[in-house]
Amino acid sequence: MSGTSAMSDEVVFRGSRVSMALRKVQLANGKEIQREVVLHPGAVIILPVLPDGRVVLINNVRHTVNEALLELPAGTLEKGEDPANCARRELEEETGYRAAAIAPLGWFYTSPGILTEKMFAFVATGLTPGPQALEENETISVRPTPISDAVAMIHSNQIVDGKTIAVILKYVSMMDKSRR
């Protein structure tokens, strides 16, 4: 069900990862409005699960908020890249772990009020450790954590990254359903 139809985008900024557009939209009532839209190529987020059930969180310095955040590994899709391949690549780059299996956990829009980013979630299992391959601008340390502790950190605001919160809670919910 659609209440609007996109009419045109005027790209006003092109960056290395995102672009900014002014989007003219015609509403169902015929009125035209303009929206500011961040155009994003899409991304992945990975929930790495170790054989003992712990999940691999990362402590990631986020320059945009000037904080180190506890997160799940994630990354931006390259043009035409398969999300599962991106998930494998990002998992290895950020954590050093290689996965024997990558299973889809669904997808979601991260902030549909302003951003086109569609994020694909995966669960990685059969992990074997290896070296990280961080980009020059990344400061990431690996932090294996019991899933119950990760949920407690969500509730105590120690984990404040929205995509990480969504994926951990979705995973826990699915695990609870499978046990019933």
Separation CA 163–CA 117 (nearest Å) = 12
Sign of CA dihedral 178, 124, 149, 61: negative
136 counts as catalytic: yes
Catalytic pick among 36, 71, 136, 138: 136
Give 120-172 pLDDT, tens digit per residue.
Answer: 999 999 999 999 999 888 889 999 999 999 999 999 999 999 999 999 999 99
Residue 5: per-residue pLDDT: 65
Separation CA 121–CA 105 (nearest Å) = 5
pTM: 0.92
Give 10-34 pLDDT, tens digit per residue.
Answer: 999 999 889 999 999 998 898 999 9
Give 103-134 pLDDT, tens digit per residue.
Answer: 999 999 999 999 999 999 999 999 999 999 99
> In Å, what is the CA distance from 116 to each residue of 2, 3, 74, 134?
16, 17, 17, 26
Phi first, then psi: what are they for 106, rounded to 5°? 105, -170
